[in-house]
């Protein structure tokens, strides 16, 4: 049996003839949210039977979910083999209504998806790293996180959500399946989410950044930088030994030009580790010639972590310095901080029954 969600429409078209049947199946699954082949009424009965003998499309199982005060909802999902992953629904903007009750602008959402069960990268600040690597997610398991979250939260089909690959795992360490998921998300008969609304976040696997660029998928790139010199960066992120900062910058310079213009740099601030003005100065030099947007993130402490949450004033000084040098910079308050915000934390707490 195969997971139907693992298939691009073209691939599906090779199983079901004539190929327009693939479009119909896509619409049933992604637009009409049916639960079984029997409900796909415009397919001939024998095709429905044939499909149900070869394919499945099961919803994810919610092991646990937590809603934060700021409205974000974090899910711990069980996959078919019982392994668990996290995904988060982040409301970015509330619905706005005029005095007469008419909707002026719709609510906006971002879904943060996982790309692997666990992660190989071993970053010292990250809880996902602690459990080691278990396996890659298939394209369908990535796609279902967004499809299922939209469905259970009754987010209308027409509301396009943004997707960030910032959950558990290193997406560029599972590039083949992530690229496939991006294509499936993008399909107009599927969820129809433009690649411009999808951001792949990476710890900096330079060779894979190049490959992603060559694929020309049109997705945006976020680099988890977190340190401005190789010495500190390799202490925090062992992958820096294989791919140092200079190699990441080179890979970005080779990225297709329209996407290169909007590269985001994530900078996880940890108290007294990487939050000085000296770091800010080095960062400005590093980003010279790159049209970057820097996102400063509050480190979210977890059980056993040796790092501390940065002081607000240090965050602001850091941001102000960057801005004074014309580097776009925003501070991101970890959403859902009261529900174990950073990825990996719901899973850990669930397993330890805290």
Q: Which residues are annotated as a binding site for [4Fe-4S] cluster?
A: 119, 123, 126
CB of 85 to ligand SF4, least distance (A): 12
- Locate 227 and state its tokens: 């340190």
Q: Which of 5, 29, 129, 219 binds ligand SF4 (CB under 6 A)?
A: 129
**Which residue out of 27, 86, 231, 329 is catalytically annotated?**
86
**What element of type H or E holds 88?**
strand 84-93
CB of 205 to ligand SAH, least distance (A): 9
Distances (CA, A) of 101 to 98, 104, 170, 302: 5, 9, 44, 43
For ligand SF4, the closer of residues 72 and 203 by Cβ is: 203
Pairing of strands 73-78, 61-67: antiparallel
For ligand SF4, the closer of residues 122 and 256 by Cβ is: 122
DSSP-derived secondary structure letter, 29: I
For ligand SAH, the closer of residues 37 and 109 by Cβ is: 109
Q: Is 86 a catalytic residue?
A: yes
Alpha carbon distance 122, 131 (integer Å): 9
Alpha carbon distance 223, 288 (integer Å): 16
DSSP-derived secondary structure letter, 197: G
CB of 114 to ligand SAH, least distance (A): 8
Answer yes or no: are the C-beta atoms of 22 and 9 closer than 8 Å: yes
Alpha carbon distance 238, 234 (integer Å): 5
Residue ranges of the binding site for S-adenosyl-L-methionine: 169-170, 201, 224-226, 300
What residues line the site for ligand SAH (CB under 6 A)?
Answer: 125-126, 166, 170, 201-203, 224, 266, 268, 297, 299-300, 302, 334, 342-343
Give which of ligand SF4, ligand SAH, none residue 297 binds (C-beta under 5 to 8 Å, depending on kind). ligand SAH
Give which of ligand SF4, ligand SAH, none residue 149 binds (C-beta under 5 to 8 Å, depending on kind). none
Comparing CA positions, the residue from 158, 88, 125, 74 lying closest to residue 304 is 125
- Locate 43 and state its tokens: 């397919």
Residue 209 touching ligand SF4 (CB under 6 A): no
**Which residue out of 112, 144, 266, 343 is catalytically annotated?**
343
Say which residue the tokens 């995904």 belong to.
87
Q: Is 343 a catalytic residue?
A: yes
Enumerate binding residues for ligand SF4 (CB under 6 A): 119, 121-123, 126, 128-129, 169-170, 203, 224
Residues tagged active-site: 86, 343
């Amino acid at each position: 049996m195969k997971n139907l969600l693992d298939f691009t429409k073209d691939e599906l078209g090779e199983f079901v003839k004539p190929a327009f049947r693939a479009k119909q199946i896509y619409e049933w699954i992604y637009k009409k949210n049916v639960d079984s082949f029997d409900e796909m009424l415009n397919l001939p009965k024998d095709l429905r039977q044939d499909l149900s003998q070869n394919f499945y499309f099961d919803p994810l199982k919610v092991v646990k979910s937590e809603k934060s005060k700021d409205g974000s909802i974090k899910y711990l999902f069980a996959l078919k083999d019982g392994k668990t992953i996290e995904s988060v629904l982040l409301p970015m903007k509330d619905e706005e209504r005029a005095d007469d009750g008419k909707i002026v602008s719709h609510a906006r959402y971002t879904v943060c998806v996982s790309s692997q069960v666990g992660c190989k990268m071993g970053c010292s600040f990250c809880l996902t790293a602690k459990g080691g690597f278990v396996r890659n997610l298939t394209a369908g398991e990535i796609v279902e996180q967004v499809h299922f979250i939209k469905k259970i939260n009754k987010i209308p089909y027409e509301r396009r959500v943004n997707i960030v690959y910032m959950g558990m795992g290193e997406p560029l360490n599972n590039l083949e399946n992530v690229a496939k998921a991006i294509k499936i998300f993008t399909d107009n008969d599927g969820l129809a989410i433009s690649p411009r609304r999808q951001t792949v976040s990476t710890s900096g696997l330079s060779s894979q950044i190049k490959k992603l660029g060559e694929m020309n998928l049109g997705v945006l790139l976020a680099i988890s930088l977190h340190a401005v010199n190789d010495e500190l960066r390799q202490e925090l992120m062992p992958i820096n030994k294989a791919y140092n900062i200079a190699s990441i910058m080179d890979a970005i310079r080779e990225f297709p030009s329209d996407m290169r213009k909007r590269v985001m740099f994530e900078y996880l601030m940890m108290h007294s580790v990487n939050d000085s003005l000296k770091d800010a100065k080095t960062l400005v030099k590093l980003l010279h010639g790159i049209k970057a947007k820097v996102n400063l993130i509050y480190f979210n402490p977890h059980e056993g972590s040796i790092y501390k949450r940065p002081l607000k004033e240090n965050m602001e000084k850091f941001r102000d310095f960057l801005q004074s040098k014309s580097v776009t910079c925003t501070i991101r308050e970890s959403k859902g901080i009261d529900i174990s915000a950073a990825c990996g934390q719901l899973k850990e707490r669930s397993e330890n029954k805290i």
